[in-house]
Every structure is written in structure tokens, then in C-alpha cells.
Amino acid sequence: MSINTRHLLPVCSLLLMIPALADAQEEQSSVTRGEYIYHLGGCASCHTNGKEGGAPLAGGLEMETPFGTFYTPNITPDPQYGIGNWSEDDFIRAMTEGVSPEGEHYYPAFPYTSYTKMSQQDLLDLKTFLDLQAPVAKPSKEHDLPFPLNQRFVLGVWKWLNFESGSFQINQHRNDRWNRGAYIVNGPGHCVECHTPRNIMGGLDTDAGMTGNDNGPEGEAVPGLQSSNHSEFSKWEIEDITFSLETGMKPDGDFLGGSMGHVIDNTTSKMTPADLEAIAEYLKSLN
């Protein structure tokens, strides 16, 4: 049998293309995973100014807190006004250490206090997704905070007292589903940020994890999500929890509202059934 080189050539170039194709596929799945992480993280709840019809992720949402008024920054890939120039390391450091590329501390109104638990892979996928969003050339607005809180170095002390960086640690005594739920609630989903009470400095009172917060965002009361305290919630079954997170409807037919409404729209309604069940299993285990 004679080998015709004319036919071999296309075969060779096809073989050469396979690694490139695999790269493109990997890139695509990183984007898809990143988009899901973006929903888990609820980035749009704060960085898109839905109230005033702002462009996605261009910031400007006003956040009233007992410590002053924050305006969320622009996190689109705009190189000047957004985070388009950031390296992977810059992004990971901001999300897990609460430190900017210039080395300044971030305020915990940015829930890096939970995002610090996110895995490296989730953060890299999230960045891949964010890098592909539309850049918006709009400057971020200065926060409106009283002295001395407007001095970022003060945050060094706050972090020393109230913040521990470090990724999520698997609990070997629990199954994968429970661990997945614990990861979402305490990490990307940052459910603890509203459902856990805060100390006088605004730090999370982790000893009272998920017992509710009478003075949550915008001063609204946030219910506890423990199962031991004879609350209405303690009677919810797994299916009640997953259904209410998916649709916003409680077992009694009422709808969840306030800041939880944004969490449902931007986060839990976009979760897979498996992740909703993982959250429910984890919540049912809290005492």
C-alpha cells in the first residue's frame, strides 16, 4: 500500500489541532463554571445598581450601614475604572485577604470575610467569567464614612480582631453533600453575612452562627436558620427549604422579601437542585 502524502497532510494538521481544541473546551467550561460561581457569590446583588438601572457590575449601589454609606465599586473589565488590569493574584488576594492591588485594606461591606473560604479553582473560574463581561468606563464613587472610619489603615485593627483568612476545610465526619452545603453557606453564598449576628464592631459573631440578626442590612430583621430553637424554620422539611430557595415561596404560602428577595433572584433560584439540597441538609444539621 502506498502512502499518499497529500492525504496525510490534513490528518497531521487535524492532530495538531487537538490540543488547541482541548484548550478551547477547557476555556469554555471554565467560563460556564465561572458563571455559576458568579451566581453563587451573588456579585450582581451588590455590584449591579438594579435600583437605578445601572449597567451590570458597574457598581454605584448605595449601601447604608451603621458605620456609614458605602458605594459598591465598578468591577467590570474596564482597564481604567474597573478591574480589567488585575492579575489572577490581584483578584485572589482581594477576594481572600481583603487587600487591594495597592495593598490597602477593604471594608467588610465587601464580604471577603466569607469569600476567603472559596477554592482557588472557583476563584480562577470566576475571574475567567468576569473578564468576559462588558467593560463600563464609569468611575467608582467614594464611600461616605465618618472619621476615623474613612482611614483604611484602621481596618488593619478590625481585621486582626474579626477576620481569619483561609479556605474551607472539609469535615471528615460528614458526607460530601453536607460539606458542599457548608462550603456554599459559609463561602461563596455568604449566607452567614446576614443570618449570623454581629458584634459591636460589625464583625460576625461566629459563636452564634446562623442564629439570625435583628439588625440586618437596611435595618431589617434576618431570621435564624438553626433547627433547634422551636422557630417556624425548625419545622421546615428539606423540600420546604429547597422549594423556598428556588421559588421564594415559604411553606405557608407567603413570599420571602427584603434583601432575601435579591438573594433568591440572583443566587438561589439559579442553583442546581443538588446544591439546594446540599444547603438544606447543612441547615438541618445546625443546632
- Return the residue of 35, 36, 39, 43 that touches ligand HEC, per CB under 6 A: 43
Under the binding rule (CB under 6 A), the answer on residue 54 touching ligand HEC is: no
Residue 70 bridge partners (DSSP): 63
* Using rule CB under 6 A, residue 92 touches ligand HEC: no
Which string of DSSP letters, residue by residue, matches 165-196?
-------TTS-HHHHHHHHHHHTTT-THHHHS
Is residue 57 part of the contact set for ligand HEC (CB under 6 A)? Answer: no
Question: Nine-digit cell at 225?
Answer: 436558620
- Based on CB atoms, which residue is closest to ligand HEC, 11 or 142? 142
Q: Which residue is nearest to ligand HEC (CB)?
A: 41
Does 73 bind ligand HEC (CB under 6 A)? Our answer is: yes
Binding mask 125-144 for ligand HEC (x = CB under 6 A): -x------------------
Stretch that binds ligand HEC, among 3-11, 17-25, 165-173, 215-223 (CB under 6 A): 215-223
Binding ligand HEC (rule: CB under 6 A), the pick from 39, 48, 60, 72 is 72
- Asked if residue 144 lies in contact with residue 62, where contact means CB atoms within 8 angstroms, the answer is no
Name the nearest CA neighbour of 241 among 232, 229, 250, 253: 250
The residue among 122, 101, 43 whose CA lies nearest residue 76 is: 43
Choose between 23 and 237: whose C-beta lies nearer to ligand HEC: 237
When the beta carbons of 193 and 277 are compared against ligand HEC, the nearer one is 193
CA–CA–CA angle 57, 61, 65 (5° rounding): 135
Residue range at the interface with ligand HEC (CB under 6 A); choices 13-21, 25-33, 159-167, 213-221: 213-221
**Interface with ligand HEC, residue 268, by CB under 6 A:** yes
| Inter-residue contact 56 to 133 (CB < 8 Å) | yes
Q: Under the criterion CB under 6 A, does residue 282 sit at the interface with ligand HEC?
A: no
Distance in angstroms (rounded) separating the CA atoms of residues 75 and 41: 14
Cis peptide before 148 (omega within 30 of 0): yes
Q: Give the amino acid at 197.
A: P
Distance CA 196, CA 126 (A): 26
- CA dihedral for 136, 138, 139, 141, sign (positive or negative): negative
DSSP H or E stretch at residue 29: helix 5-41
Exactly one of 27, 164, 232, 237 binds ligand HEC (CB under 6 A); that residue is 232
Q: Radius of gyration of the chain from Cα atoms?
A: 22
Q: Is 279 in the site for ligand HEC (CB under 6 A)?
A: yes
Q: Contact between 267 and ligand HEC (CB under 6 A)?
A: yes
How far is the CA of 163 from the CAs of 89, 101, 134, 154, 267, in angstroms?
20, 19, 33, 14, 24
Nearest CB to ligand HEC, comparing residues 174 and 259: 259
By CB under 6 A, which span of 13-21, 104-112, 159-167, 200-208 interacts with ligand HEC?
A: 104-112
Does the footprint of ligand HEC cover residue 206 (CB under 6 A)?
A: no
Question: Residues in the site for ligand HEC, rule: CB under 6 A?
Answer: 41-43, 45-47, 63, 70, 72-73, 75, 83, 94, 100, 106-107, 109-111, 126, 185, 189-191, 193-195, 216-217, 220, 222-223, 225, 232-233, 241, 244-245, 250, 256-260, 263, 267-268, 279
